Amino acid sequence: MARKHAQHGARRAGGRPGAATACAADELDRVPAETSEPSTAEPPTTAEIQTNPVSGPITVPYRVELGDSGVEVHSLGLSTGALDRGADAHAADLLDRFAGLGGDLIAVADGPADPAAGERLVGAWLASRGTRDRVRLMTRVRRSPGPARPTTRKITDAVDASLGRLGTDRIDLLAYHDDDPETPLEEILGALDALLASGKVLALAAAGCSPERLIQARVLAADGLPRFQALATPYHLLARRGFEGALGVVARAQGLAVLPQSPLAGGVLGRRLHRRGEPHDATAARHQHRAGRRATRVLRVLGEVAAAHGTDPAAVAVAWLLARPAVAAPVVAVRRPDQVDALMRAASLVLTRSELVELDRASA
């Protein structure tokens, strides 16, 4: 498969001590740190999908491109991490609903228990519906348990196994989970380069990467190795510091499409704040107590903004993310088809400047 890697940045540092640090300083200096004053969100432009298994033609936001990869996705992704492995029919209904409302980015192998189960489930759904060309599949590879470093063969075998479980010939977005900083990036990117050349993978994302590793990867791309086009990272109203520091600055400088993982903080941001005088809900009260005071502040503001827009707190939490710089598509895990409807509305929900400021202050 013919293709050309984008060539950006300086010449490769050649292993000189301090080269990556110098590059890091250069990139950090070029992009200002994110401030607490968000810019006014603009209404998204829309496009009509002519064929749709749920409702016929529908209007959805235009797809966003992942970096300059040519891979375009709807601005909300679906994770299989919360799907019930023992209820395939239920999972198929949820996937039907997501695709029927215009969703197309499905993140598989995203659950902590048995990542391969998500691939098998989605593969069965794709085979039964014949919708492969309408969706974008995202899966990930990571270091295997044990002391052995990932090798070209291991990465290739892992991708081949994923393709078999998914029943497809390509993965639209492959996320490499960089949990072994001792492994030279040259080895990893070389293996990923072969997968791109074969057409088995169309674009690359980084996951679990430090800012320094991202900069090293971009320096290596100047010598012909492939570029990461996206960054998968935990990011939500209750976990801002990890991304909004150096990691976010580097992601913006490199033009990475940011795919926030766990955008609802494991479901906490989708719950309504329990107020005094209301019927007691033991589950809600327990989660609220565990979340702490800052979460209570955030839930209060989410509830107020959601009421003003006639929507759910979860949709507001996702809409806040979509208003952040560099964010392309939050990847959400849901359990029921009806939850998909509310979250898909978040892609078209435009928050006012004052609402964004209130959410920033509550979550600071």
pLDDT at 337: 85
pLDDT at 246: 96
Closest C-alpha to 314, from 280, 285, 290, 345: 345
The answer on pLDDT for 7 being more than 50 is no
Q: Are 131 and 99 in contact (CB under 8 A)?
A: yes
User: Would you give the distance in Å from CA 79 to the centre of its chain?
Assistant: 9
Closest C-alpha to 259, from 291, 238, 235, 278: 235
Closest C-alpha to 205, from 260, 126, 264: 260
pLDDT digits (tens, 9 = 90+) for 57-102: 444 555 788 999 999 999 999 998 877 655 566 788 999 999 998 8
- If you count them, how many residues does the chain have? 364
**Rounded Cα gap, residues 54 and 98, in angstroms:** 10
**Rounded Cα gap, residues 153 and 146, in angstroms:** 16
- The DSSP secondary-structure symbol of 77 reads E
**Rounded Cα gap, residues 283 and 269, in angstroms:** 14
Q: Which residues pair with 67 in a beta bridge?
A: none
The most confident of 13-17, 46-50, 77-81, 298-302, by mean pLDDT: 298-302
pLDDT at 182: 79
Q: pLDDT exceeding 90 applies to what percent of the chain?
A: 52
**Rounded Cα gap, residues 122 and 159, in angstroms:** 15
**Rounded Cα gap, residues 141 and 200, in angstroms:** 14
Query: How many other C-beta atoms are found inside a 10 Å radius of the C-beta of residue 280?
Result: 7
pLDDT band at 35 (very low <50, low <70, confident <90, very high): very low
Mean pLDDT of 113-138: 89
Closest C-alpha to 140, from 185, 188, 174, 180: 174
User: Would you give the distance in Å from CA 34 to the centre of its chain?
Assistant: 19
Closest C-alpha to 139, from 77, 85, 189, 184: 77
Q: Are 93 and 341 in contact (CB under 8 A)?
A: no
pLDDT band at 346 (very low <50, low <70, confident <90, very high): confident
The answer on pLDDT for 197 being more than 50 is yes
More confident residue, 224 or 90: 224
Q: Are 106 and 136 in contact (CB under 8 A)?
A: yes
pLDDT digits (tens, 9 = 90+) for 306-323: 999 999 999 999 999 999
**Rounded Cα gap, residues 145 and 123, in angstroms:** 25
Q: Which residues pair with 260 in a beta bridge?
A: 233
Q: Which residues pair with 234 in a beta bridge?
A: 261
The answer on pLDDT for 289 being more than 70 is no
For the chain, list the domains and their CATH numbers.
Answer: 27-271+315-352 (3.20.20.100)
